[in-house]
Amino acid sequence: MGGEGRVIGGRYRLGESLGRGGMGVVRRATDELLGRPVAVKELNLDGDADPARALREARAVARIRHPHVVVVHDVVEHEGRPAIVMELVDGGSLAERLARPGGAMTPEEAARAGLALLDALCAAHAHGVLHRDVKPANVLLEAGTDRVVLTDFGIASLPGAATTISGTGAFVGTPEYTAPERMQGAAAEPSSDLWSLGVLLCAAVAGESPFRRDSIAAVLHAVVFEEIKPSPKLGPLLPVVTGLLERDPQRRLGAEEARRLLAACAAGTTPEGTPPAGGTYTPTERAVAPPVVPGNDGVRDARGRRRGARAALVAAGAVAACAGAVTAVLLLGDRGTGTGPAATGTHTTATATTTATATATTRVTAPAPGPSAATTGTGPTDAPPGYKRVSDERGFSLIVPATAERSEQGVRTFYITPDGTFRVGVKTGAIPSGGAMASMRAADAAGPKNNPGFRDNALTPTTHQGMSAVLWQFTWDGFDAGEGARHTYDLCWEQDGRLYDVWVSGPAARAGETRAHFDKAVESFAPSAL
């Protein structure tokens, strides 16, 4: 677009570069008409950059008038390239500060910055704008003042246009700061921005995020699966960070409670009470999986209709880094109503690599693990409210929804809620040649035949209580149009010379509840006399 000294838009004289990223360059400039300093972001249209990005960012920011959100003055075009003219915030970014020795913030200072960013995000959310890329590089610290400014709304989503995957298949955002539900392909929500704020608070105090790893695949795996260990340097910030880094968005700390805790920390006082339940983290192994080969077998549901036998795990995808701004190509899986592996509680989960995907991910939110039901055979009183433990005549016990009723379909045993909404399935048998993976590959291969609209399927090698296992998750169109799409979580593992397969399916729109039932079923499963 032209270097230093060039005039664009008939009035903006470009100065030195203030920063460069994957999408373009930000330069200091002078508005010669009004005689004021400004910043100009020149969009780089080389490669896969979106030519509409500048206008989208301007529209997003124009909706928000807030002291902690950067002000956009103008959008101009020069030599076929768009540029955004913004207020100039002198002082550099939080990322630049953290890169300097001793640049980390104190917990109190980070809390004050967090309050400003929380207010900025709430203002954006009130106008239907989701930022989707909250990270230190997009936070400006004005020199000589306490002003913190949220900038770079270039991948923000506007009402009616919220997407997680771009038209080219690129995942929008920076994986290290992206919420796990978005890694699974879910659309961004306000709670997704709050997760990113929690990661940013960790980085502001500790100097780096808790998900910093040596490779993009490892970052994605850490965000979705690994035990989250916030730095002890967080001190009084730990309660709010723990609440914001809850993997289940329905249990994640809300904006009002986060504001209360941040305000108390910023003031140097101890907040009354504690944040809502959250911060239950499941440690998992890191491993590389072989290519996923489809497979699946079909069954009929209690209504006599054919249904999918196994659930395919989220497929998250190939990852690319671009000048410090990372995008990840994700192919997601969330279908099914059948049988299969689970990754929660005490299981460990690994990344799955295919020709088109680099990592397989799934949401990991489980109750704090207690004694292993698979080895201790806990009794009927260990079920939490709303659940019951059943001892099945086929030689196993597990926890299911309290209202679920038993049904047999051939070799499969189901516990189904009266309205048919949630279905817990169990299958046991001899270990086939190739083990759990071969069984699940066969089930996945039959998915399109057995499950109308079968999609987003993926298999992930993992372990369950130290035993070889496979996690499968998928989505399909459901039993009828009125019911809508369904999602299945399925864990299959090898134990004491037998193959065990436990799965839970439910409406895709209620995947969080389905996952909660799945977590409890798998974590509590215990073989009995066979």
Q: Which residues are catalytic?
A: 133
Query: Is 402:316 a contact under the CB 8 Å cutoff?
Result: no
Residues 6+ apart with CB under 8 A from 195: 178, 179, 180, 244, 245, 249, 252
Sign of torsion over alpha carbons 448, 330, 153, 31:
negative
- The whole-angstrom distance between residue 115's C-alpha and the CA centroid of its chain comes to 23
DSSP 15-47: EEEEEEETTEEEEEEEETTTTEEEEEEEEP-ST
Q: Is 166 buried (19+), middle (13-18) or exposed (0-12) by CB count in 10 A? A: middle
> Given phi > 0 = left and psi -120 to 50 = alpha, else beta, which region is 198?
alpha
Q: Look-up: residue for tokens 């436990």? A: 502
62: tokens are: 């124009």
Residue 367, both tokens: 């109750």
Q: CA-CA distance, 464 to 256, in Å (whole number)? A: 38
What secondary structure, in 3-state letters, does 342-374 show? CCCCCEEECEECCCCCCEECCCCCCCCCCCCHH
351-352/288-289 β-pairing: parallel
| Among 131, 139, 138, 241, CA closest to 192 | 131
**In Å, what is the CA distance from 260 to each residue of 69, 70, 190, 270?**
21, 25, 18, 11
Output the CA–CA distances (angstroms, integers) from residue 168 to 47, 49, 218, 317, 464, in the order listed.
Answer: 11, 10, 23, 13, 36
Rounded-to-integer distance, Cα 429 and Cα 65, Å: 62
Cα distances (angstroms) measured from residue 228 to each of 151, 152, 185, 209, 238? 27, 27, 21, 10, 12
Element (H, E) at 516: helix 511-524
Continuous segment of H or E residues that includes residue 199: helix 190-206
Backbone φ and ψ of 384, nearest 5°: -75, 170
* 139 in Cβ contact with 93 (< 8 Å): yes
Check: CB of residue 275 under 8 Å from CB of residue 252: no
